[in-house]
Amino acid sequence: MVIDAGHGGRDPGASGAQTQEKAVTLAAARQLKAELERTGRYRVRLTRDDDAYVDLYRRVSIARQADADLFISLHADAGADPALRGASVYTLSEQGAGRAVREFTRGDNWHRDLHLPGRDPSVDRILLDMTQRATQNRSAQFARVLLTHLEAAEHPLLRRSHRDAGLAVLLAPDVPAVLLEMGFITNPEDERALTDERARRRLMRAVAQGIDRYFQQPAAPVLQASNASASGSP
């Protein structure tokens, strides 16, 4: 699987009173990697392991080239109201799914990238749509499992904690992906938790347990587009 530490290098992300988002995400990514590798069940790759800038589409390419079974992008939220706090999880929206198809089919050899037959463009497009639908369903399944484990760990959550968006790091049509906003760096309590090594390790342990649970579950059936859209924002 691939863990993406959001931002980095010339892109600091959001800023709190004491730290920048790019530092928090890198520390969390390293801790999550260690938690997963300790089990001996995972091969884990980071999109960055230092303070480097990595293009958003390059992050997606890293996951696809690694043939990753799961991609999780770690971030820290920000808001104008310092009282706002809590984690949330994003999965790909229906509008984003359409954008992903357009991006992915722009080249002439896109079917080879997905190991599709390549003999009939209409058949390849149907197979691409099916692949992406299955990926969206798996992403939503992981998001629900992850939020359950964060709640069980008594980690604060936003009231509407499962959201959907057309974020670039979620666009891979064949890699289940979520973006985890670990908390609000602009909230004093969340920032303290995100910058405290022990508190951050507890959070990453809950994330690792959610990943374990996700891989123990059977794949969700492919839903119709209307149902999948509703599941993106429960």
Distance CA 190, CA 155 (A): 10
Q: How confident is the model at residue 177 (pLDDT cuts 50, 70, 90)?
A: very high
Using alpha carbons, select from 177, 148, 152, 175 the residue that is nearest to residue 161.
Answer: 148
pLDDT at 231 over 50: no
> If DSSP codes are grouped into helix, strand and coil, which group holds residue 14?
coil
pLDDT tens readout for residues 23-46:
999 999 999 999 999 999 999 999
- Order across the sheet with 87-92: list the strands: 45-46, 2-5, 71-77, 177-184, 87-92, 157-165
pTM over 0.85: yes
User: CA distances (Å), 207 to each of 10, 54, 161, 228, in order?
Assistant: 28, 23, 15, 24
- Compute the distance between CA of residue 200 and CA of residue 183 in angstroms, rounded to an integer: 11
At residue 22, the pLDDT reads 98
Confidence of residue 103 (pLDDT cuts 50, 70, 90): confident
| pLDDT at 129 (0 to 100) | 79
Q: Above 90 in pLDDT, residue 230? A: no
Residue pair 92/136 in contact (Cβ under 8 Å)? The answer is yes
pLDDT for 233 beyond 50: no
- Distance between CA atoms of residues 79 and 75, nearest Å: 13
Three-class SS state of 73: strand
- pLDDT confidence tier of residue 224, bands split at 50, 70 and 90: very low
